[in-house]
Amino acid sequence: MIRILFQFPNAIQRLYKGVVWRIKPDRKTDKKVIYLTFDDGCIPEVTPQVLNILKKYDVKATFFCVGDNIRKYPEIYRRILSEGHQTGNHTYHHIAGLQTSTADYLKDVAMTDSIMEEASQIPSRHLFRPPYGRMRYSQKKALLKTHKIVLWDLLTHDYNKRYSPEKIMRVIKRYSRNGSIVVFHDSLKACEQMLPTLPKAIEFWQNEGYQLSVISL
């Protein structure tokens, strides 16, 4: 039986040295923070609904967008930015790093960097999250020179059709902690589970005293 992982053990995290899994809490304050993130957008069927929910609760999130989606729907990408959210690179074609040569992988990432800058008119160093959370060592080494690579502390598995919103909420309540980077997906595959869960998750975190913040560069 394959064990479903919601948080990766420290031993696995150490294999990806230099990658951000969790934001270290500030011990000088009592502030509790959750870093809410979304992968695989931006798409018109789902992302605007996510943005409406975030606006209702006055919280900010970080969207790791697929470059080809930004190309097709630049107005949605610009809306994400205009409403105060952060964005990151999730490759142009949502490619698997372990099945792609390093040269082709870096080219795909660079294509997304370019289209992000074209859509936002803001050239900058970028956040990056590898699709499926995996990449070759050579890819990671090269990208760390130009990007802040962000993985996660809590994977909700909202794309899993066997996970009801109630089950996902049980996972969130069990594994959320100060500094957690939480992954949802603004995708067609996940929306049936994600959209009903998101308001409940935000309300839970807020009731527990967490602030929801973007991941900074």
Residues with catalytic roles:
39, 185
From the CB of residue 18, how many other CB atoms can be counted at a distance below 10 Å?
10
Spatial contact of 205 and 170, defined as CB atoms under 8 Å apart: no
Residue 135: closest CA among 75, 83, 95, 78? 95
| Residue 106 CB contacts under 8 Å (≥ 6 apart), including other chains | 139, 142, 143
Spatial contact of 180 and 34, defined as CB atoms under 8 Å apart: yes
Sign of CA dihedral 2, 21, 84, 147: negative
Tokens encoding 25? 């809490």
